[in-house]
Amino acid sequence: MSGHNESILREPLITGTHITYAKITNDILLPVENKPNRAWWIGFIAALCGATLWVVAVSYTFWFGIGSWGLNKTVGWAWDITGFVWWVGIGHAGTLISAVLLLFRQNWRNSINRSAEAMTIFAVICAATYVVSHMGRPWLAYWVLPLPNQFGSLWVNFNSPLVWDMFAISTYFSVSLLFWYTGLLPDIATIRDRATGLRRRIYSIFSFGWNGNVKTWQRFETVSLILAGISTPLVLSVHTIVSMDFATSVIPGWHTTIFPPYFVAGAIFSGFAMVLTLLLVARKVLGLENYITMFHIESMNKIIILTGSIVGVAYITEFFIAWYSGSEYEAYAFINRSTGPYWWAYWMMMTCNVISPQLLWFKKIRLSIPATWILSIVVNIGMWFERFVIIVTSLHRDYLPSSWAMFYPTWVDVSVFVGSIGVFFTLFLLFLRVLPSIAIAEVKLLLKTSSEQAKLAQIKEGHLDKVHVKEYVESLEKFDSVKQEEYAKI
Amino acid sequence: MSNIKYILGSFGDPDEMMHGIEKLQENNIKIHDVYTPMPIHGIEAKLGIKRSRLDILAFFCGITGTVSAFALIYLTSVVDWRNNIGGKPSFALPDFIPIMFELTILFTAFGLVGSYYASTHLFPGRAPRVMDLRATDDRFIIAVDAQENAEHSKIDGLLKEAGAIEVKHNERKYISYE
């Protein structure tokens, strides 16, 4: 496997010059095997307050009904579905990293896939809670399943995108969970074999008896590849179907065929932004700079520029078609979006999603951690507004001017949304404490080929093209985790 | 007969371990199994492990999913209870496709992972059969059955020569049982 060297022209995926297999395990398991530090506690308590708010707000909704939200008869869908689509979208980056990048053999995914996929699972949980709380009678949630209605003989309407969505989201959640958990088995076994007493017993149950023999590993790789192969079309289908919740209706502003690709690009865009928001903090607090390097951050920023630009093109196309189609209702919907009473939401969306991500074309900004972090949050604000604009501005002025209305969120709407962020962070912070945030086994695979020390050894051996070495050393300048003095003499 | 059950060669480097496998095989010493903290490519060919047939199984699970979804929708909305929705046909195949697709994926994933767990004996709470606790951390372990291969000192020598950091003689097969 590692009998050959990787080209010096590729940037290293693991930095540091004294990395061993044991050190990788120790570094990654540091937060799992030790007491949490103060930063973790501060974050966790804040997140827990948010989660409590969520419990209060959702209980209030269940007790008093959907009337406690700001919905009215014109705007029957607002913050709830905005939040749902926003969270599902965020989830998409995890699958993209773990599945699509695996198929494309992008090895830099190895150190970010685990936490990105955990993020997917938690984001989909947050999304699902919106669906359940919007049902009004959540104890009848099983009615979305294909059971004969009222247990007579009428079935769910299989032609409805909302039923498709139920299938898509539940498949997506369970397949992501399987993929994530199967990948976790070897790492749980690592924790188990280092632990003692009760910890060992608990991790032993969850490790499924993994022992890392040849056959298990060989099958493991086959399974990962097939799961990646099926998750790739799955992730595309999920947001496609989410977009069909809107696109198959006859509401001007929703009834467009570009929705599926436009939603998928937006989902990846917001998902990568959320991955950056989380990992930029996690790498610092957990001391994982050697594994999540500037190269990873820059690569994710490049994906954000690409998908952000696709989203921008989609916005412009939508606007153009509204005029070009000659449909006055469609044209009005778009003029109203950009200049009507919700103009501020529209321009917020345009600024955060189309204009500000273009700053990432500048290398300085792409490589600046504070700038990237702020931009990643800006993108997620923008993506929330995108869904708000699509949903509320298309509904609030319908065909009958006498029923035109505005949407004003109540404290319950706001609390459900803010609370869901709390739920998400609570789950994510717990994950960081009990499970390895980086796939240990997969990172070990990179040590002999793609690490800085392996490349340094190659350089020291000589026989390399001087120009290539120079180029490589220059590429290392952006890394904050590389000791530049080592290279000064080369 | 000594009561040593397994001889373990513990390597710190995967390439040296591969070298160890070659050495043992050149001397016709049968390897029981190899335990590593990460997948090692090319090892299955050396140890004569057959190609996995899980992909074929995954395909058939997928087909089952497609057919089940079609059967479910067809039998409910075309045969059992036709709905007149704006006079449109009940047998609207394009509308069936999203659910057929989702169930294909769902059945493939569960069928595949389920059979993987079953075939490699992975299930919650199973007692881990571990020969060396560092095999999931930083060591690459070659295990040789000491009862079948009598020349213990020769095996030790070969493993050491290939670069084993230590060679262990275990009197119990699995050390992980308490």
Instruction: Output the pLDDT for position A386.
Output: 93
CB contact under 8 A, B36 and A210: no
Q: For the structural domain made of B6-51+128-170, what CATH number should be given?
A: 3.30.70
Mutation site, A175, A191, A204, A213, interface B, largest B CB count within 10 A = A213
Token couple for A110: 């190895």
* Mean pLDDT computed over B51-73: 93
The percent of residues above 70 in pLDDT, for chain B, comes to 98
Q: Tell me whether B50 touches chain A (CB under 8 Å).
A: no
Q: What is the pLDDT along chain A (490 residues), one digit of tens a residue?
A: 445 678 888 888 888 888 889 999 999 999 888 888 888 999 999 999 999 999 999 999 999 988 999 999 899 888 999 999 999 999 888 888 888 888 888 888 888 999 999 999 999 999 988 888 888 788 888 888 888 776 666 788 888 888 999 999 999 999 999 999 999 999 999 999 888 889 989 999 999 989 888 999 999 999 999 999 999 999 999 999 999 989 988 888 888 889 999 999 999 999 999 999 999 998 888 888 889 999 999 999 999 999 999 999 999 999 999 999 998 999 999 999 999 999 999 999 999 999 999 999 999 999 999 999 999 999 999 999 999 999 999 999 988 889 999 999 999 999 999 999 999 999 999 999 999 999 999 999 888 888 888 888 888 887 888 888 888 888 888 888 888 777 776 6
pTM, to two decimals: 0.91
> In this complex, do A223 and B112 lie within 8 Å of one another by their Cβ atoms?
yes
In whole angstroms, give the CA distance from residue A450 to residue A295. 12
Nearest chain A alpha carbon to B70: A158
A&B contacts, CB < 8 Å: 199
Contact B95 A189 (CB under 8 A): no
CA distance A181 to B114: 12
What's the pLDDT band for B177 if we cut at 50, 70, 90? Answer: low
CA distance B83 to A430: 48
pLDDT in tens, A413-422: 999 999 999 9
B83 touches chain A (CB under 8 A): yes
Interface test with A, best of B35, B38, B119 (most A CBs within 10 A): B38
Q: Is the CB of A174 inside 8 Å of chain B's CB atoms?
A: yes
Please indicate whether, in this complex, the C-beta atoms of A158 and B76 are within 8 angstroms of each other.
yes
User: What distance in Å separates residue A212's CA from the closest CA in chain B?
Assistant: 5
Q: State how far residue B159 is from chain A, nearest Cα, in angstroms.
A: 18
Cβ–Cβ under 8 Å, residues B99 and A168: no
A298 neighbors A53 (Cβ within 8 angstroms): no
**Chain A partners within 8 Å of B119 (Cβ):** 219
B130 touches chain A (CB under 8 A): yes
Length of chain B, please?
178
Distance, in Å, from the CA atom of A197 to the CA atom of B41, rounded to the nearest integer, reads 34
Using a pLDDT cut of 90, give the percent of chain B over it.
29
CB pair distance less than 8 Å for B130 and A211: yes
Mean pLDDT of chain B: 88
CB contact under 8 A, B128 and A207: yes
Pick A441's closest partner by Cβ from B38, B88, B105: B38
Put simply, the answer to whether A182 touches B113 (Cβ < 8 Å) is: yes
- Per-domain residue ranges for chain B? 6-51+128-170, 54-120
- Which pLDDT score, from 0 to 100, does residue A152 have? 66
Looking at the complex, report in whole angstroms how far the Cα of residue B85 sits from the nearest Cα belonging to chain A: 9
Q: Which residues of B touch A244 (CB under 8 A)?
A: 98
Which of A87, A98, A105, A107 has the alpha carbon at shortest distance from A178? A98
Task: Give A39→chain B minimum CA distance, Å.
Answer: 28
- Classify burial at A70, counting beta carbons within 10 Å of its beta carbon; exposed 0-12, middle 13-18, buried 19 or more: middle
Alpha-carbon distance A466 to nearest alpha carbon in chain B (angstroms): 28
Kindly state whether B78 is in contact with chain A, defined as any CB-CB distance less than 8 angstroms.
no
Mutation test of the interface with chain A: which of B61, B116, B142, B145, choosing the one with the most A Cβ atoms within 10 A? B116
Q: Note whether A182 contacts B130, CB cutoff 8 Å.
A: no
- b/e for A307-320, b at 16 or more Cβ within 10 A? bbbbbbebbeebee
- Taking CA atoms, what residue in B is nearest to A173? B106
Question: Mean pLDDT, to the nearest integer, of B144-158?
Answer: 84
Contact A444, A24 (CB under 8 A): yes
Residues of A whose CB is below 8 A from B98: 161, 164, 167-168, 237, 241, 244
A33 to chain B, minimum CA–CA distance in Å?
14
Contacts of B36 in chain A (CB under 8 A): 212, 214, 217
Q: How far apart are CA B99 and CA B107, in angstroms?
A: 12
| CB-based contact A204 B34, cutoff 8 Å | no
Is B101 in Cβ contact with A194 (below 8 Å)?
A: no
